Amino acid sequence: MKENVILFLVLTCYSSPRLIASFAMSDWEEFRLSHAEFANVRIDAIQAMASSSRDGMKCTVSEKVLSGSENVAFKVVFADNVEWVCRIHRDAADTAPVYNVAKVESTVATMRYIKCNSTIPVPTIYAYKSRDVSPGLGTGYIMMEFLYGQEVDMSPSSLSSSEETQVYHQLANVVRKLSQLRFPKIGRIFETSEGVFDIGPFVDRQGVSHGPFDTSAEYFKFEAESIRAKHNRWLYGRPANATEDDVMRSQIVCGLYDQLASQLSDYDSPGAFPLSHGDLGTHNLLFSRDEAGRLLLTGVVDWDFAHASSWCDFGQWPALLEIRWPTLEAGRYSEFVLESIRRKQRIFLDGIRNQRRNDSNEDNKDGSKFPQLLDVIDTPPVRMAEFLLNYSDPYYRVDEDLLLKYVKQWKKDWNCRGAHNKI
């Protein structure tokens, strides 16, 4: 599961009940004693490192910590009231050191690239180490700007209709801007020693590199291989109630994913793969209120999973706006929940339309032919990518009939029965 860590919140900056801080802060010493992977983190080491980064300026480090599955974050306040955030990566036996290095370096490179090439609000990076051996500083750290703002409470009836529009139109604006940052390959963003941004490979937790990929089909074939590995692990240690039909279903579905992956090249255009946040949604946006009480976006955070992406991946709904297709097909959505999601989707699409008009065909001013967002979002090939990327875990129990139902929306000329033999 992707970690959901917002590292830049001001928890007391705004008093509106509709602006929330939804994740707990912990006392550092208590937290450290129960989390061995952060044993090599010390307040005094953070303080010394931060001070040296500003020519010896004295500072204090909060004893409160925000934590996720792989990072802890501390607020640093300097003597001149400048505020930073120090984010430190864990030391874990279940991940290869090269994974930690690649993750930190790509996160930093992505944020720097956005700073240079977009108006999306992200923190400024002041210092970092992707492979740290200093006592007290974990396996790597990032020192960055402290962004003011808070997460918005998106629970039912928490926002007025106008506030809901403000939030989702600004989310649409972020998606629009990301779609305009394009790369020649699919992979993670890295920065060379000469300051050049380039696309490099994905690095998994075992330290194995994959890619970068020249086409969407190559990328999805790689993802399909990981699906088969997940199913094989499930079959090896499958629960006692698993039947031989479950085994057969798993094998058929994996075969279908393998073949679907080779076909998922919709919207490919040479040198035009968009930048995907990787976990974009209102949970990773920070807002404040202006003097009139309007919600204004102040930050987009948690770029750990950002990558140059296939359009079929990019065209998915942002987090918390998606409809989970296996859940829908199983009839486990209430009408109230479905209507709430669809209403928010309509607001989001209205925001995309507004941005398209404001951009005055900015996308194609150089004569290139890039897909328009409204022609990509939630289309049949995007839904197939969703199945492959999001719902291929054995937990979802997706079977051949369900998958082929969505295939038929994408490839209407396929024969539903036995289609996996004819793709």
pLDDT, tens only, 329-345: 999 999 999 999 999 99
pLDDT (0 to 100) of residue 368: 52
The Cα-based distances of 27 to 30, 33, 164 in angstroms read 6, 10, 34
Local confidence band at 81 (pLDDT 50, 70, 90 cut-offs): very high
Residue 135 pLDDT greater than 60, yes or no:
yes
Class of residue 67 by CB neighbours under 10 A (exposed 0-12, middle 13-18, buried 19+) = buried
pLDDT (0 to 100) of residue 70: 87
Local confidence band at 246 (pLDDT 50, 70, 90 cut-offs): confident
pLDDT (0 to 100) of residue 240: 67
Give the side-chain half-sphere CA count within 13 A for 204. Answer: 8
User: What are the extents of the domains in the chain?
Assistant: 19-151, 155-421
Average confidence score pLDDT of the chain: 88
| Span 16-23, average pLDDT | 40
pLDDT in tens, 393-419: 988 889 999 999 999 999 876 654 444
Residue 37 pLDDT greater than 50, yes or no:
yes
pLDDT (0 to 100) of residue 14: 30
146-155, 165-174, 195-204, 232-241: lowest mean pLDDT where? 232-241
Instruction: For the chain, give the percent of residues with pLDDT over 70.
Output: 87
Nearest CA-CA partner of 285 in 197, 392, 362, 170: 170
| Span 387-395, average pLDDT | 93
pLDDT (0 to 100) of residue 25: 63
Q: Which CATH architecture has domain 19-151?
A: 2-Layer Sandwich (3.30)
Residue 264 pLDDT greater than 50, yes or no:
yes
Local confidence band at 157 (pLDDT 50, 70, 90 cut-offs): confident
Cβ atoms of residues 294 and 166 within 8 Å: yes
pTM of the model: 0.89
pLDDT (0 to 100) of residue 211: 96
24-33, 69-78, 205-214, 366-375: lowest mean pLDDT where? 366-375
The dihedral over CA atoms of 412, 415, 418, 422, expressed in degrees to the nearest 10, equals -80
| Span 189-196, average pLDDT | 95
Local confidence band at 119 (pLDDT 50, 70, 90 cut-offs): very high
Local confidence band at 19 (pLDDT 50, 70, 90 cut-offs): very low
Which region, left, alpha or beta, applies to residue 93 given φ > 0 means left and ψ of -120 to 50 means alpha? alpha
